[in-house]
Amino acid sequence: MNRVVFILGVLEDEDVDWLIDAGQRQELQPGDVLIREGDPCDALFLILDGSLAVSVAALAQPIALLARGEVVGEMSFVDSQPPSATVVALEPSIVLSISCQPLRHKLQQDIWFASRFYRALSILLSSRLRSTVKHLQGEHWRPVAGLDEAERDEMSEMLSMGGIRFDWMLKRLRDVNSSPWVDLDVDSAD
């Protein structure tokens, strides 16, 4: 499941425009460390392409693999604590890096953006927690399971809108930049 759709599905088009304008496209090569466990993290990252591994020093193997459409750095953004894991590129990857300082300023200045952003972040973190619990129970979590029909419809619409906005974000970033990124297939986003 592309977690960025949880955020983009709640935000408005002008919010997504702001994220694109405030963010910086960052290219990673295999082995590049995006986030290091215990080191300060001053950005929120949207994975636009590629794949990254999440690991913790206490374990010998990765605890998660992240791909296009995932969000990282959100926990440190919320609680201002150093990251609890390291995130490393497994292949050439592209992320949209949104610095925490301008994001916090925007949240303080625009109450409606803040309301939408924090709601989206809450849904994202809740989804991650539910997924982790189900994984520990040996089950696969589906975001619409256990909801009544109206809630399923709202969730489905939010996910659909988030997917549309993610594709739009990719296209807009691709059109602005002239690099190997230009060849990115926007229609393949899940």
What pLDDT, on the 0 to 100 scale, is given for residue 87?
97
* pLDDT reading at 189 higher than 50: no
- Confidence bin at 34 (pLDDT 50/70/90): very high
pLDDT for 22 equals 96
Helix axes 100-109, 13-22, angle to 10 degrees: 150
Could you identify the residue written with the tokens 């995130």? Answer: 87
Q: What is the pLDDT of residues 132-176, one digit of tens each?
A: 777 677 765 555 455 566 656 667 777 788 888 888 888 888 766
The pLDDT of residue 140: 59
pLDDT exceeds 70 at position 188: no
Least Cα distance to 3 among 151, 105, 132 occurs for: 132
Q: Are 41 and 76 in contact (CB under 8 A)?
A: yes
**Between 79 and 177, the higher pLDDT residue:** 79
Task: pLDDT band for 178, please (50, 70, 90 cuts).
Answer: very low
The structural domains of the chain, ordered by start, are 4-174 (2.60.120.10)
Q: DSSP letter string over 75-114?
A: HHHHH-PPPSSEEEESSSEEEEEEEHHHHHHHHHH-HHHH
Residue 52 has pLDDT above 50, yes or no: yes
CA quadruple 90, 92, 94, 97: dihedral, nearest 10: 60
| pLDDT value of residue 173 | 83
pLDDT score, position 3: 75
CA 68 to centroid of chain Cα atoms: 9
pLDDT of 73-123, one tens digit each? Answer: 999 999 989 999 999 999 999 999 999 999 999 999 999 999 999 998 988
